[in-house]
Structure 1
Amino acid sequence: MVSVRGWLECDEEQLARIKEIVTADDPESTYSGGWAFPARQYNFVKWAFYGADIRAVALEWFEDRLRRIAEIPASFQDEEYDERPRGLFLVSHEVDGMSEWRVRDGVLVIGRPEGDYRYLDA
């Protein structure tokens, strides 16, 4: 089993695209239920969260969703600031330990945790 938990921040247009990507899966799919979108979002930044324990064989499914989300373009261009979706996910594998999945700059970067998240490693 793999424990996946994390968040994305984006704008309203990007949130709509994120919802399209994650709801394109069968709504009865076990792992799609891990997505959560606050009913009441505040200010300009919008949020999407994911939390679930999934089978290791489904990790590729989750990675594909995050890569597609990372590719969502900025709603408007700003030369000083990257306005694409960004976020952080901690992925704890029973055998392989924890990894950090960062959505930023239009890509998904998977690596060893840069922070001290050992207390979350289940």
Structure 2
Amino acid sequence: MSVRGWLECDAAQLATVQEIISSHADDYYSGGWSTPRQQVNWTHYVFYGADIRESALDWFTDQVREIARIPASDDDGDRIRGLFLAGHEVEGTTEWQVRDGRLVISSADTRHRYLDG
């Protein structure tokens, strides 16, 4: 599977995101996680991009679900949000939305088919 996407969070949430990613480190697929070299303005971004075996899918979605459950860190109430596209060789592309404390998986819009390979 080809998994690529990002998460958006604030500084306090970023520290927890990084702890979760570290706790799931496997010295292989965990290398797909990255952050910008330098923070720009107030929103922090965490990116993932890697081809992973279907057998590692639970490893990845478990992390994302745990990250999605991180509570808001200030009075604004902003939760972590994000979007991933996961391309499967047989089943096509699915869209993974991180919102409202959950990971919501659905079929990707047909306009993303060009990414199927």
Please say whether Structure 1 and Structure 2 have the same fold, judged by a TM-score greater than 0.5.
yes
Report runs of 4+ in structure 1 exceeding 3 Å deviation. Answer: none
Q: Which amino acid aligns with 1:112?
A: S
Does residue 1:14 correspond to 2:13, yes or no?
Answer: yes
Q: Which amino acid aligns with 2:52?
A: I
TM superposition score normalised by structure 1: 0.90
Q: Percent identity?
A: 56
Partners of 2:70 and 2:8 lie apart in 1 by 12
Query: What residue ranges of structure 2 are gaps of 5+ in the alignment?
Result: none
Q: Which amino acid aligns with 1:91?
A: A
Q: Which residue of 1 aligns with 2:59?
A: 61
Partners of 1:115 and 1:42 lie apart in 2 by 33
Shift of 1:77: 2.7
Q: Which amino acid aligns with 2:101?
A: G
Aligned positions of 1:1-122 closer than 5 A: 2-26=1-25, 28=27, 30-78=28-76, 82-114=77-109, 116-122=111-117
Provide the aligned C-alpha RMSD in A: 1.3
Aligned residues: 117
Query: What residue ranges of structure 1 are gaps of 5+ in the alignment?
Result: none
Partners of 1:121 and 1:18 lie apart in 2 by 28
Partners of 2:110 and 2:8 lie apart in 1 by 19
Q: Which amino acid aligns with 1:121?
A: D
